Amino acid sequence: MEFKDYYATLGVPRNATQDDIKRAYRKLARKYHPDLNKQADAEAQFKNVGEAYKVLGDPEKRAAYDDVGQRYRSGQEFSPPPGWDGGGFEFSGRDLGAEDADLSEFFRALFGRGAAATHMHRGMPSAGADHHARISIDLEDAYRGARRTITLRVPVVDAQGQLQVQERQLEVNIPKGVRAGQHLRLAGQGAAESGVAGDLYLEIAFREHPHFRIDGRDVYVDLPLAPWEAALGATVSVPVPDGTVQLSVPPGSPSGRKLRLKGKGIPGTPAGDFYAVLLVTAPAAKDEAQKSAYAALAQSFAGFHPRTAWEK
């Protein structure tokens, strides 16, 4: 495994004070917090920063890390010194909870055993706890419902007091009509401790779709039209998440006009609506015939001024 330079992660020098470290962490935590930053890598960055602060923000762990860190540079191959068990330090600080299952291998090698043991002493919750996970589904799944096998990684403290990650598979019926940001409740599928099972909650996100845009329960698609289709009217095939519909575009439709298909959005009570947003697309004139067709158009529309809004 690679040695992690936690000082570089937080952007502070090795002799930074605890206050400097806290300030640097706070600033980065605000920057990368996944609730505030919607970029794809924000969550991973936030976890790195959090892990660095878990070590450097705690003077005992920082001292142990510094002791090892004197001999390593970032990215260098790292193996814990023989007999290492948190360097004989007694960690009295925070414990490792379920949310810490994604700490790096490096962190575990340094602090895993001691920290997990602390957790054991503090005692596990006595009743079954409710658990949370996130899943991404396709928009089509929300229209039709779907059956998905999901793999959950569950942190478990083993007989040696080590925090282990176990995998558990569930076959989930995703109900029709579910929307992004909603939760699904799977009764009795949370942590089973002392014979009482908690519930499992799955938070739903939609995968990015190449054509459709989603706004709550409404779904949008851009509908490109040739100028003559927009001017004369046309019947066009439009993809919807559960198939295709024939849509009649009325004559004289301007670009940007929204045609609504009521109830064709995400199903439910009430169902969402589906909108086709008209996008009039003029082709480039490439040969003489096409150029003269445009010229004829210009002649026929001699009274048309596209920039009337600018004229006084």
Partner 1 sequence: MAETRPVAAEATIVDDQMLFTLVELCRACNATSAQLTVLVEEGVLEPIGSAPEDWRFPGPSLSRARTALRLAQDLDLGGPGIALVLDLLDEIESLRARMRRAGLT
Stretch that binds partner 1, among 25-33, 70-78, 109-117, 302-310 (CB under 8 A): 25-33
Instruction: Write each residue from 181 to 200 as x if it is in contact with partner 1 (CB under 8 A), else as -, in one continuous string.
Output: xxxxxxx-x--------xxx
Provide the minimum distance between the beta carbon of 190 and partner 1 in the complex, in angstroms, as a whole number. Answer: 9
Q: Are 65 and 56 spatial neighbours (Cβ–Cβ below 8 Å)? A: yes
The interface with partner 1 within residues 218-247 (CB under 8 A) comprises: 220, 222
Contact 143, 242 (CB under 8 A): yes
211 belongs to the binding site for partner 1 (CB under 8 A): no
Among 73, 122, 132, 305, binds partner 1 (CB under 8 A): 132
Is the bond leading into 270 cis (omega within 30 degrees of zero)?
A: yes
Q: Quick one: which of 209, 241, 139, 211 has its CA closest to 180? A: 139
Tell me, by CB under 8 A, how many residues bind partner 1.
46
- 77-to-47, 82, 84, 113 alpha-carbon distances in Å: 21, 15, 16, 21
Under the binding rule (CB under 8 A), the answer on residue 214 touching partner 1 is yes
Of 20, 43, 60, 130, the one binding partner 1 (CB under 8 A) is: 130
Check residue 129 for interaction with partner 1 (CB under 8 A). Answer: yes
> Which class for 236: exposed (0-12), middle (13-18), buried (19 or more C-beta within 10 A)?
middle
Asked if 172 contacts 150 with a C-beta cutoff of 8 angstroms, the reply is yes
Q: Is 33 in the site for partner 1 (CB under 8 A)?
A: yes
For partner 1, the binding residue among 26, 144, 260, 305 (CB under 8 A) is 26
Nearest distance from C-beta of residue 286 to partner 1, angstroms: 27
Chain positions 255 to 274 lying near partner 1, rule: CB under 8 A, are none
| The one among 109, 201, 238, 247 contacting partner 1 by CB under 8 A | 201
Q: Does residue 202 interact with partner 1 by CB under 8 A?
A: yes
Strand-strand pairing, 213-215 and 218-225: antiparallel
Show the 3-state SS of 170-183: EEEEECCCCCCCCE
Nearest to 224 by CA among 200, 256, 191: 256
Comparing CB distances to partner 1, the nearer of 122 and 168 is 168
Closest to 133 in 3D by CA, of 84, 187, 171, 185: 185
Residue among 16 and 277 whose Cβ is closer to partner 1: 277
Q: C-beta of 148: minimal distance to partner 1 in Å?
A: 10
Three-state secondary structure call for residue 66: helix
Q: Which is nearer to partner 1, 2 or 208 (CB)?
A: 208
Residues 147, 164 contacting (CB under 8 angstroms): no
| 166 vs 290, beta carbon nearer partner 1 | 166
Q: Within its chain, how far is the Cα of 164 from the centroid? A: 25
* Piece of the chain touching partner 1 by CB under 8 A; list 55-63, 86-94, 125-133, 155-163: 125-133
CA nearest to 69, candidates 22, 106, 23 = 106
Residue 158 binds to partner 1 (criterion: CB under 8 A): no
* Among positions 70, 92, 149, 237, the unique one binding partner 1 when judged by CB under 8 A: 149
Contacting positions for partner 1 (CB under 8 A): 26, 29-30, 33, 35-36, 46, 50, 129-130, 132, 149, 166-175, 177-178, 181-187, 189, 198-203, 213-216, 220, 222, 275, 277
